[in-house]
């Protein structure tokens, strides 16, 4: 065997070991362990096809929301209004369908336009008015909740029609259409972030905004585009939510924010060593959902989901910060010899 072949084999094994290392895909190992544990604890109800279908369908909207959240987080911005935006889209599409009788596709299009408008306002307030993303989106969340109350009169909007309901619930191979929508959106955002110049610009903006700007990245445009895209995906999730419930509910949006943030931060600790990414986020959504579902089937109290997601968020943020610090330290060490050589 030649030296080149030996080095290639060694590099291949090293890459495989890194890919399968616990610190790189710890959520996958935890997921497997939970499946085994709950299959032993509740063998009658947990390891069944019905449970898998329920978890897939129930978490599709959370996954869409978390995927949307990856974009502004990767660009260094927070969107705390994302749950309220989902609730706004759910109410607006129901209002257009039931109260205004505008038809399914016009109502969906109008709702998507509303979502884009909210994201654009958030983005412009951040980059032009120089208000922090945290404060901007927190204030926007309150404004949106007031708008939801005004549109719905704090009451459910009914009679959305069977055609609209089929959009989210129509089964393909026994799995609701909303799951396939989530997978398509995940693939699109993954490709954008990992395989395009725009994706590199997003990560550069989130890593060091000033350095990215000096390198020629239009950081303000990147931030606005990420917030608009996030709002658009929140609107899609809201439309699918009203479709699956066959009603517009003014109270359900904010409850989706914490699970989405927990999944996005937990996902950042997987595969990309502290970087927000789509694959890790989708895996994290279903890891958290598996844990919650298993505990519920085992007879845990009703407050377990809130506790589970809250603890997961705190742990994920801590690990994300640690991985980010380690990555920056490695970059600094790698840059030191180059700087010394140039100085010499």
pLDDT of 40 over the 80 cut = yes
Q: Per residue in 292-322, pLDDT tens?
A: 888 888 887 877 777 877 887 787 777 767 7
pLDDT of 108 over the 50 cut = yes
Beta bridge pairs of residue 176? 171
1 versus 314: the higher-pLDDT residue is 314
Mean pLDDT of the chain: 86
pLDDT band, very low/low/confident/very high, at 267 (cuts 50, 70, 90) = confident
Q: Residue 13's pLDDT is what?
A: 60
Residues whose CB falls within 8 Å of the CB of residue 178, separated by 6 or more in sequence, listed in order: 57, 60, 61, 168, 169, 240, 243, 244
Where do the H-state alpha helices sit in the chain? Answer: 3-20, 22-41, 49-74, 82-94, 104-127, 133-152, 162-169, 177-195, 197-207, 209-214, 219-245, 257-268, 278-297, 304-343
Contact 111, 92 (CB under 8 A): yes
Contact 217, 44 (CB under 8 A): no
Contact 292, 305 (CB under 8 A): yes
Q: Residue 302's pLDDT is what?
A: 78
pLDDT band, very low/low/confident/very high, at 153 (cuts 50, 70, 90) = very high
Q: Residue 344's pLDDT is what?
A: 46
Question: How far is it, in rounded angstroms, from Cα 157 to Cα 95?
Answer: 7
Q: Per residue in 217-232, pLDDT tens?
A: 999 999 999 999 999 9
Tokens 């991985």 — which residue? 323
Mean pLDDT of 2-26: 62
Q: Residue 2's pLDDT is what?
A: 54
């Amino acid at each position: 065997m030649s030296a080149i072949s030996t080095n290639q084999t060694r590099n291949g094994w090293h890459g495989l070991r890194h890919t399968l290392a616990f610190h790189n895909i710890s959520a996958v190992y935890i997921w497997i362990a939970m499946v085994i544990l709950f299959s032993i604890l509740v063998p009658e109800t947990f390891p069944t096809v019905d449970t898998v279908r329920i978890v897939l369908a129930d978490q599709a909207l959370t996954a869409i929301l978390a995927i949307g959240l990856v974009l502004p987080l990767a660009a260094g911005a927070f969107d705390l209004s994302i749950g309220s935006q989902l609730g706004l889209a759910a109410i607006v599409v129901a209002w257009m369908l039931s109260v205004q009788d505008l038809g399914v596709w016009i109502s969906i299009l109008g709702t998507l336009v509303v979502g884009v408008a909210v994201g654009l306002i958030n983005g412009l307030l951040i980059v032009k008015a120089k208000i922090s993303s945290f404060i901007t989106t927190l204030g926007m969340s309150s404004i949106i909740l007031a708008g939801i109350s005004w549109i719905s009169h704090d009451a459910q909007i009914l009679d959305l029609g069977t055609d609209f309901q089929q959009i989210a619930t129509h089964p393909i191979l026994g799995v609701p259409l909303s799951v396939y929508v989530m997978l398509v959106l995940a693939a699109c955002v993954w490709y954008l972030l990992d395989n395009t110049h725009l994706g590199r610009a997003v990560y550069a903006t989130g890593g060091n905004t000033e350095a990215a700007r000096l390198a020629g990245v239009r950081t303000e445009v990147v931030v606005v585009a990420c917030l608009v895209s996030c709002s658009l995906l929140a609107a899609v999730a809201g439309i699918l939510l009203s479709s699956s419930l066959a009603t517009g509910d003014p109270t359900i949006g904010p409850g989706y924010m914490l699970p989405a943030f927990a999944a996005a931060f937990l996902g950042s600790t997987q595969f990309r060593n502290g970087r927000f990414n789509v694959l890790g986020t989708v895996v994290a959504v279903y890891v958290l959902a598996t844990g919650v579902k298993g505990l519920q089937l085992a007879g845990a109290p009703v407050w377990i989901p809130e506790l589970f997601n809250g603890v997961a968020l705190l742990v994920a943020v801590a690990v994300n910060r640690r991985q980010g610090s380690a990555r920056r330290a490695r970059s600094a060490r790698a840059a030191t010899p180059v700087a010394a050589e140039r100085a010499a």
